[in-house]
Amino acid sequence: MNEADFLGRLKKFEGQPAATAGVGKDLVNEPMIRHWCEAMGDTHPAYTGPDAIAPPTMLQAWTMGGLSGHGDGTGRTSGYEELFELLDGAGFTSVVATDCEQEYVRDLRPGDRVSYDAVIETVSERKTTKLGTGHFVTTRMDVSVDGELAGTHRFRILKYAPAQRSSPGKGPGRAEGREAEQAPLRALRPRPVINRDNAGFWAGIAEHRLLIQRCEECAELRFPWLPGCNACGSGRWDTVGASGSGTVFSYVVMHHPPFPAFDPPYAVGLIELAEGVRIISNVVGVAADEVRIGMPVRLEFRRVDDELELPVFRAEVA
């Protein structure tokens, strides 16, 4: 399924209920209020004593599924589950909350039984963040007591596929806190998708050869690799090794957005090889803002991590 079709399926969930007539698992109660205040270090006098109110910021806590999850009585709809299954199935398996907007209409007091209804407001198009790529899902919940609105709770989460990180030599119990910040785990470059149509190209890279396809019928060179000839349609081909010399045909300098495995600014060049075909790759050995069209470059191979080697092009200094 392509991205547009997938987005279309996601968009169908907008406006659908996420929870209907859910009921809080616990009455608003003094022990949970006290535990909350202890955790937060909150000593506000309104939250203790015979006339105590619950800290308003606990609004969502009264609606949580807890360890036993959102089973019977919590009002969680099948639509909400289906949306999550759809996102999980597409690889967006991780979840992180990004926004919470709460309005407090009426105090909650020990003994109150909250009920709630929620609607899926929006599902975003695909977004790439520092964490990874995914979709934002925004829900809005109305929390009531005895049919009277107590508060509203708008919540946005990101369902995402985590960006890959390397973890060299890091087992449990080491890098913590500040140390982890100073030596952040480095994300890996995306893996190439290797299939029958391009396996020969990657086999060449492994041997430090940049192979260009050549049509056996008309001798037309082609790159990137394709099953058939653009010129005559023949499916028969062999390869020639690139000499390694080329020039910058065009380029962009990437500043934003940052992707976890890349360190902006960096130059992405469209390199015209001496053989006449063009390849997209990094231009190295020169500051990103000094890359110029027509600049002579030479092929080299760069090991970017334990498992991946890539062809890059080094600027040839005049």
Partner 1 sequence: MKAGDELAPLEIPITRTLIVAGAVASRDYQDVHHDAEIAREKGSPDIFMNILTTNGLVGRYITDHFGPTARLRSVRIRLGAPNYPGDIMTLTGTVTAVEGEVAEVRVTGANGLGNHVTGTVRVAVPGRAGGES
Closer residue to partner 1 in complex, CB, 17/56: 56
Closer residue to partner 1 in complex, CB, 94/239: 94
Helix ranges (DSSP H) in 133-247: 177-182, 199-206
Closer residue to partner 1 in complex, CB, 181/207: 181
Helix (H, G, I), strand (E, B) or coil at 217: coil
Closer residue to partner 1 in complex, CB, 165/255: 165
Cα–Cα distance, 314 to 290 (Å, whole number): 12
Closer residue to partner 1 in complex, CB, 100/274: 100
Three-state SS sequence of 91-132? CCCEEEEEEEEEEECCCCCCCCCEEEEEEEEEECCCEECCCE
At 76, list the tokens: 């969680």
State the minimum distance, in angstroms, from the CB of residue 60 to partner 1: 6
264: preceding bond cis by omega (within 30 degrees): no
- The residue type of 318 is A
Closer residue to partner 1 in complex, CB, 40/231: 40
State the minimum distance, in angstroms, from the CB of residue 136 to partner 1: 12
Cα–Cα distance, 253 to 90 (Å, whole number): 31
Cα–Cα distance, 11 to 120 (Å, whole number): 10
State the minimum distance, in angstroms, from the CB of residue 1 to partner 1: 24
Cα–Cα distance, 213 to 224 (Å, whole number): 8
State the minimum distance, in angstroms, from the CB of residue 78 to partner 1: 22
Point out which residues bind partner 1 (CB under 8 A): 32, 35-36, 38-42, 44-46, 55-58, 60-61, 64-67, 94-104, 107, 131-132, 162-165, 167, 170, 172, 175-181, 184-185
Q: What number of other Cβ atoms are within 10 A of residue 32's Cβ?
A: 16
State the minimum distance, in angstroms, from the CB of residue 81 to partner 1: 17
State the minimum distance, in angstroms, from the CB of residue 206 to partner 1: 28
